[in-house]
Amino acid sequence: MNEKKYYVTTPIYYASGTLTLGHCYTTVIADACARFKRMQGYDVMFLTGSDEHGLKIARNAEKENLTPIEFTNKVVLEFKDLWKTLNISYDKFIRTTDEEHIKAAQYAFNKLYEKGLIYKSSYEGLYCVPCETFFTESQLVDGNCPDCGRPVEKASEESYFLKMSAFTDYIKDFYAKHPNFLVPESRKNEIYKNFIENGLNDLCVSRTTFDWGIPVPFDKKHVMYVWIDALINYISAIGYPDTNCEMFKKYWPADVQFVGRDISRFHCTIWPVLLHALDLPLPKTIHSHGFLTQKGDKISKSKGNGFNPKVLSDRYTADAVRYYLLKEGPIYNDCPYTTELFLNTYNSELVNGLGNLVSRTTAMILQNFNGELKAPDVLNDDDKELINTINALRKKVEVSMETCRVDIALKDIYEVIKACNKYIDITTPWILAKTDKVRLATVLYNLFEGIRVCATLLQAFIPDTANKVFDKLGVTNESLKSYDNALYMDSNAKVVVNKGEALFNRIDVKKEMELIDGGLVENNNEKQQPKQEKEVKQNVEVKNESKPLISIDEFDKAELKIGLVLESVEVEGSDKLLKNTIKIGDEVRTIVSGIKKFYKPGELVGKKVLVVTNLKPIKLKGILSSGMVLCAVEGDSKLSVLTLDKDVECGSEVC
Ligand code: ME8
């Protein structure tokens, strides 16, 4: 077996309507990992696809006067179009309506039945149609679906059940032996506590009240529960049930399966049981990422904030979207998205950071040496420092990518871009152009190499941009773009750079925000944006004058909750701020507070504090802060973080 194989999957997306920017996160992160592994010489299989059965899809089709398959055919074209726009390099797109998939799902269902693991009984429960999930009364939140908040329907019918309960010991043992199966640790603990610790429940795996699904092979009145149908895609795509075929033997078990946190429990309870029951090994890791949110809510069509991501990619390029999602988006926690955050990142990092570095360097090589890169002369300490920074990059990125931390990898690359820009400020090449051409040639050579190494690694994240950078650098030799050569080389003299067009054009953030938030982006309710990054005097400013009276409704707009401080650390370069990691119910947030004068890092850890949770997020010293910790203040000299005199569950409302 090829040791250098990498099988990575996204979930298959519900073909019930248009995808949102939130959906794109899962696909873009999987794409970056797939591209990176290909660069490292792995034989990669990157799978995505569409989940096309179930009542919701049948109902949506009906609304459009289409048959379900006509409806999903249309939606799938939109999916593929979006993935093309975003440069998603999937190797296979599976549809659960593919004949091969249907056969595989039926084979698996039958096998479980023959093994005595599926039995007939009757089911009475509460069913959420959009989520295709049954819930018990106690799982509901205010009588509604705990996942999407919508009403549930009573459903009672003859059904087949999968004996999940028989696998409780197996799954407990598996989790104990495979501590890294589900990443991150916090999600694993949550899933284990809520769904595994007290034993698995048998699962209803067939329906009779609608027929848009895969028929149960031995009882055609029933269709398979969509989650069983859907999960099988990961193996049917590579040839299951023919476990001896080349694809299956090569790629299974999957190396990384990306899922959003809402569907982790399906992938971490039902999926392992299914595989084990089918005598197959389990995937190596499941990465469960957080949500991209707006105003604290998951970006989603049903919440009315799921605008079409193509608006952003058409206007600012696919790479701008990819860069933002990968660097600033979820990995494990939820991350707020606003147009302003997106546009500011675009201007500061892509236009000013990378774009400027490349255009300044190539322009100086063109002006001073007719575009030809000259060999470096003697290296001084500044040069050596830059070269060390460049040479350390590949290893850093490799380490981050081993655990799919695309965000850290991009931060590391951006640090080298910053180091190159700083090197320009220190070495002042515009003065050298008048005084010392030999030294100038060395400086420009080093910059060229810094850019080339960054561009090589950026191929995994923003591939179009990386190619444009290579064009501008005049790098045509494929080996100079290879992972192996993502290190400083001293043999590239004579390469001829090109002027080319600017990589990214600076934008007027205010004007663009007006355009985007003013309606160019459908359903984007984010009309008023948070203030620009600034140092806030949070909690230390005492206002003497009384504020005007407000009504209870106005006060009610503030959402206050109890948070548990998990971590409280210094913010680099600030003498006022502490960066707190706070757990609020199921969610973990970063909140930056101006309390460093009054609290040592770590001092608040373990304390339950009062948090304003619906403040618009703002960036403080480059850190996105989502909320505010409430404090009592006495002049400039005393500040006390408000805590509780009785223990109350974190996440509880404050009213
Ligand atoms: O769940 N932020 O499909 P789906 C981050 N068909 N991720 C988000 C998101 C957001 N705002 N909104 C959605 C399904 N996602 C099933 C999967 S797999 C066998 C079956 C993520 O189209 C979501 O968490 O509702 C999930 O991982 C993926 O998009 C597909 O969601």
Q: What is the pLDDT of residues 375-429, one digit of tens each?
A: 999 999 999 999 999 999 999 999 999 999 999 999 999 999 999 999 999 999 9
Task: Kindly tell me the burial class for residue 127, based on how many C-beta atoms sit within 10 Å of its own C-beta (0-12, 13-18, 19 or more).
Answer: buried
State whether 104 and 165 are in the same domain.
yes
> Is there an atom of ligand 1 within 6 Å of 24 CB?
no
DSSP three-state, residue 577: coil
What does the alpha-carbon distance between residue 529 and residue 527 come to, in Å, rounded to a whole number?
6
State whether 185 and 88 are in the same domain.
yes
Place of tokens 């925000």: 513
- Whether the predicted pLDDT of 543 surpasses 80: no
User: Half-sphere exposure of residue 130, counting CA atoms within 13 Å on the CB side?
Assistant: 14
Atom number of ligand 1 nearest to Cα 234: 19
**Is residue 320 in a domain?**
no
Q: What share of the chain is helix, strand, coil (3-state, %, to 5)?
A: 45, 20, 35
For 36-81, how does the pLDDT look when each residue is reduced to its tens digit (9 = 90+)? Answer: 999 999 999 999 999 999 999 999 999 999 999 999 999 999 999 9
Q: What's the domain range around 342?
A: 336-496
State whether 370 and 276 are in the same domain.
no
**Is residue 605 in a domain?**
yes
Nearest CA, atom 9, ligand 1 = 22
Domain count for the chain: 3
For 151-200, how does the pLDDT look when each residue is reduced to its tens digit (9 = 90+)? Answer: 998 877 899 999 999 999 999 999 999 999 999 999 999 999 999 999 99
**Is residue 521 in a domain?**
no
State whether 248 and 344 are in the same domain.
no
Task: Kindly tell me the burial class for residue 507, based on how many C-beta atoms sit within 10 Å of its own C-beta (0-12, 13-18, 19 or more).
Answer: middle
For 292-344, how does the pLDDT look when each residue is reduced to its tens digit (9 = 90+)? Answer: 998 888 998 776 666 778 989 999 999 999 999 999 999 999 999 999 999 99
Atom number of ligand 1 nearest to Cα 290: 5
Give me the pLDDT at residue 547, please. 60
Q: Please indicate whether residue 559 or residue 361 has the higher confidence score (pLDDT).
A: 361
**Is residue 295 in a domain?**
no
State whether 276 and 378 are in the same domain.
no
Q: What is the CATH number of the domain that holds 151?
A: 3.40.50.620
State whether 434 and 565 are in the same domain.
no
DSSP three-state, residue 301: helix
State whether 88 and 229 are in the same domain.
yes
> Is there an atom of ligand 1 within 6 Å of 22 CB?
yes
Place of tokens 């706070």: 582
State whether 404 and 348 are in the same domain.
yes
Residues 600-623: what's their mean pLDDT? 85
List Cβ neighbours of 17 (8 Å cut-off, separation of 6 or more): 60, 75, 301
Task: Kindly tell me the burial class for residue 210, based on how many C-beta atoms sit within 10 Å of its own C-beta (0-12, 13-18, 19 or more).
Answer: middle
**Is residue 309 in a domain?**
no
The residue out of 289, 322, 352 marking a domain boundary is: 289
- B/e letters for 379-408, b = 16+ CB within 10 Å, e = fewer, are eeeebeebbebbeebbebbeebbebbbbbb
Residue 267 phi/psi, 5-degree rounding, is -75, -15
Beta strands in 92-152 (DSSP E): 92-95, 118-128, 133-135
Q: What is the CATH number of the domain that holds 576?
A: 2.40.50.140
User: What distance in angstroms lies between residue 13's CA and the mean position of ligand 1's atoms?
Assistant: 6
Query: Which one of 9, 23, 145 would you pick to mutate in the ligand 1 pocket, going by the greatest count of ligand atoms within 8 A of its CB?
Result: 23
Q: At what angle do helices 437-458 and 381-402 cross, to 10 degrees?
A: 0
Whether the CB-CB separation of 449 and 423 falls below 8 Å is answered with: no
The residue out of 289, 311, 327 marking a domain boundary is: 289
For 125-157, how does the pLDDT look when each residue is reduced to its tens digit (9 = 90+)? Answer: 888 888 777 787 777 888 898 878 889 988 778
Q: Please indicate whether residue 449 or residue 573 has the higher confidence score (pLDDT).
A: 449
> Is there an atom of ligand 1 within 6 Å of 230 CB?
yes
What does the alpha-carbon distance between residue 363 and residue 501 come to, in Å, rounded to a whole number?
11
What does the alpha-carbon distance between residue 635 and residue 637 come to, in Å, rounded to a whole number?
6
**Is residue 565 in a domain?**
yes
394: left (phi over 0), alpha (psi -120 to 50) or beta: alpha
The residue out of 289, 315, 345 marking a domain boundary is: 289
User: What distance in angstroms lies between residue 132's CA and the mean position of ligand 1's atoms?
Assistant: 13
What does the alpha-carbon distance between residue 651 and residue 554 come to, in Å, rounded to a whole number?
22
Give me the pLDDT at residue 535, please. 30
> Is there an atom of ligand 1 within 6 Å of 148 CB?
no
**Is residue 523 in a domain?**
no
Structure tokens given for 168: 């409780």
Whether the CB-CB separation of 306 and 43 falls below 8 Å is answered with: no
> Is there an atom of ligand 1 within 6 Å of 13 CB?
yes
Place of tokens 């910059």: 447
What does the alpha-carbon distance between residue 454 and residue 588 come to, in Å, rounded to a whole number?
32
Q: Is the peptide bond before 376 cis (omega within 30 degrees of 0)?
A: no
State whether 138 and 207 are in the same domain.
yes
**Is residue 532 in a domain?**
no
State whether 478 and 571 are in the same domain.
no
State whether 10 and 139 are in the same domain.
yes
State whether 272 and 347 are in the same domain.
no
Query: Which one of 53, 263, 266, 406 would you pick to mutate in the ligand 1 pocket, going by the greatest count of ligand atoms within 8 A of its CB?
Result: 263
> Is there an atom of ligand 1 within 6 Å of 147 CB?
no
Q: Percent of the chain at pLDDT above 90? A: 70
